[in-house]
Amino acid sequence: MVRIDGRGEGPSLIRARGLGKAYRRGGEEIHVLQGLNLDVDAGDFVAFMGPSGSGKTTLLNLLGGLDLPSAGSITVAGDEITRMSARKLTAWRARHVGFVFQMYNLIPVLTAFQNVELPLLLTRLSGAERRRHVETALGVVGLGDRMHHYPRQLSGGQEQRVGIARAIVADPTFLLCDEPTGDLDRKSADEILDLIDRLVREYGKTVLMVTHDPLAAERARVVLHLEKGVLVDTVTAGRAR
Amino acid sequence: MKYRHLILTNLTRKKTRTALTVGSFAVALFLFGILAVVDGAFQQGVDVAGVDRLVVLNRVSIIQPLPLAYRDRLARIPGVTQVTFANWFGGVYQDERNFFPQFAIDHPTYRQMFPEFVVPDAQWQAFVADREGAVVGEALAERFKWKIGDRVPIRGTIFPGAWEFNIRGIYRGRRVQDDTTQFWFRWDYLDERKTFGKGWVGWYTVRIANPDEAVRLVKVIDEQFANSPAETKTDTEKAFAASFVKQMGNIQLLIMSVGSVVFFTLLLVTGNTMAIAVRERTRELAVLKAVGFSDGFVLTLVIAETLVVAAVGGALGLGLAKLFTLRGDPTGGLLPFFYLSAEATGLGLGLALAVGLLAGILPALSASRLRVVNALRRI
């Protein structure tokens, strides 16, 4: 269940209260997010839509622990991340967040296997255990036979699959996807959305996705609209309807 | 080490740039190696000098002789246990470019004074028995392919005439630093044939019983011959060797200056290269930080890359310098000790790593301070 009224009292996986973010540009203070409340339960698939500059990416940055709010708090699985030190937040990200980027952001000199292995290098897993996890993740995204290919040897859709495998390989608490289909043709975009959908349905993953694409948003269970830094409405979407 | 491929693969990203940076280190360290060899060649006399030996020269200059009669007077000074003497000959073998030092030595005493030079007994006896005999260092023998029994003609310059010697022995050094490019023959043969300065010698070397008394004995010896027609200037062998080097100018300052300029330039070049490399990878470094790699890890990663470049380039340059020295002294005898020591190799590698560290530190700090949200613009 997703709520934006700040009245959610159950054990939400992600809880934001009175979230605000302001930047100072010149002498002017720009409020990107204002008094935002959000409750997301485990297993939800949420899409954020809204015009450019509405604060979608800023919200994702805050939820992913990449940035700190100017006001309010964020609690994830009982941990208030807005009170964490930078060092602790980095460790928290490694454990709890899987990022999927629009431009894939794979490291070009590493193979698909090595790219997916990156988050596991931060764990105490042995080489053999890491290999097993990476093979499983690449198998889930359907690239078990492309393990030793470099990003330049893959299509855009395949690169994004590797990006998703990297995001899920350490079994994070939730996935943050920023325009995951923004750089893909319709067919590849649909394949990626099918994959994300499957991660939610079959593996119970919690996914928060920013998108401009209505067809992508339709895959989410809930679509939230942001306007001028405020969540304005909740729409139960697509297949969940 | 599970991060090894991260470091190494990053170096293969721009192969030409990596090769050129490694090449810069290699050239700089090759130059360092050669400068260290030259410095070592000039310093080796100082380094191997005996602590219990004093050198007695004519106070006026090294080329002015001393009377043979001083030998017995020196031997009678309490604290002096041995005395020997020698003369610079300065002859030419075949061509003036074939320079090597030739000494007319006092054969009854010279061998005991310099035990670091080893001559087999039988060869020494053959040398003693032959008035025209000579003993040569093994490097010199190798250079001219001389062997025992060869007859060597040398044209005298200070002592004119055609001189001929029979090679009766070949000496080797106990230590790698010992000079084995010398040519010894009997002083009595020189004294017999020379047309001037009979009964005069070039310099004396004396052994003292207690090295701690060197300063006192220097004074005693020089006072002994004060106000005589041939006053002396005595020094420890080390100080004598050092002053000899100084006559050629401040070699070390020159080498230090050249070396500093080279390393400073290398620092700027490498620092700039690493800064560019980090700037090009801003997004990737931000991704690493986003997925949970710490600022410290990113700092270490960039520094480790620079250190690998420095180590590989440094090892390559020093290896080439070592290979170059294996061919021997390229000056034809001016630098008899042409050898890259383990100390110089270690120092060179240390300097390369220090330059690598300094060159990498600023780009690494900038990478570690990178704000993920700024670098990615959007996640």
Closest CB to B3: pick one of A57, A121, A179: A121
pLDDT in tens, A184-229: 899 999 999 999 999 999 999 999 999 999 889 999 999 999 988 8
Residue numbers in B near A114 (CB within 8 A): 5, 9
* H or E stretch covering B264: helix B251-280
Q: Which residue of B has its CA nearest to A62?
A: B373
Does the beta-carbon distance from B290 to A64 stay under 8 Å?
yes
Pairing of strands A14-25, A28-40: antiparallel
Question: What is the rounded CA–CA span in Å between residue A209 and residue B201?
Answer: 98
SS3 B134: strand
Give bridge partners of residue A24 from the DSSP assignment: A29
Instruction: Tell me how far apart the alpha carbons of residues A127 and A114 are, in angstroms, rounded to a whole number.
Output: 12
Q: CA of A160 to nearest chain B CA: how many angstroms apart?
A: 14
Give pLDDT tens digits for B296-320. 999 999 999 999 999 999 999 999 9
Cα separation of A148 and A110, whole Å? 9
Tell me the β-bridge partners of B83.
B206
What residues in B contact A108, CB-CB < 8 Å? 13
Q: State the alpha helices, DSSP H only, in chain A.
A: 56-63, 86-96, 112-117, 127-140, 156-168, 186-203, 214-217
Contacts of B293 in chain A (CB under 8 A): 90, 94, 122
Which segment of A92-96, B6-10, B217-221, B357-361 scores lowest on mean pLDDT? B6-10
- The residue behind tokens 């809204």 is A50
Q: Which residue has the tokens 């030595």?
A: B105
Inter-chain CB proximity A66 and B284 less than 8 Å: no
Above 80 in pLDDT, residue B335?
no
**Cross-chain residue pair B378–A178, CB shorter than 8 Å:** yes
Instruction: Determine the pLDDT at residue B166.
Output: 96
The single-letter DSSP state of residue B92 is B
What is the Rg, in whole angstroms, of the alpha carbon atoms belonging to chain B? 29
Number of residues written out for chain B: 379
For residues A19 and B238, give the distance between their C-alpha atoms in angstroms, rounded to a whole number. 78
Query: Tens of pLDDT along A118-132?
Result: 999 999 999 999 999
- A121 neighbourhood in chain B, CB within 8 Å: 2-3, 6
Query: Bridge partners of A175?
Result: A98, A207
Between chain A and chain B, how many beta carbons pairs sit less than 8 Å apart?
A: 69
For CA atoms B22, B28, B31, B37, give the dihedral sign: negative
Task: Label the pairing between strands A28-40 and A206-210.
Answer: unpaired
Q: How far is residue A17's CA from residue B22's CA, in Å, rounded to a whole number?
A: 54
Q: How far apart are the first and last CA of chain A?
A: 13
Give the residue from B291, B299, B374 with the most A CB atoms within 10 Å of its CB, the best one to mutate.
B291
Euclidean distance between CA atoms B176 and A36, whole angstroms: 79
Its pTM stands at 0.71
The identity of residue B336, as a single letter, is P
Q: Where are the alpha helices (DSSP H) in B145-281?
A: 187-193, 214-224, 237-246, 251-280
Pairing of strands B161-173, B133-137: parallel
- Whole-number Å distance between alpha carbons of B65 and B317: 46
ipTM of predicted complex: 0.89
Of B154-168, B217-231, B318-332, where does mean pLDDT reach its minimum? B318-332
**Hey, what amino acid is at B195?**
T
What are the distances in angstroms from CA B186 to CA B119, B151, B195, B200? 15, 15, 16, 14
Q: Measure the CA–CA gap between A233 and A237, rounded to whole angstroms.
A: 12
* Mean pLDDT estimate for chain B: 89
Q: Do A118 and B288 touch (CB under 8 A)?
A: yes
Tell me how close the Cα of B263 comes to any Cα of chain A, in angstroms: 31
- Helix axis angle, B15-48 relative to B237-246, nearest 10°? 130
Q: Which two tokens stand for residue A127?
A: 């080489």
* pLDDT of B61 strictly over 90: no
Phi, psi of B211 (to 5 degrees): -55, -25
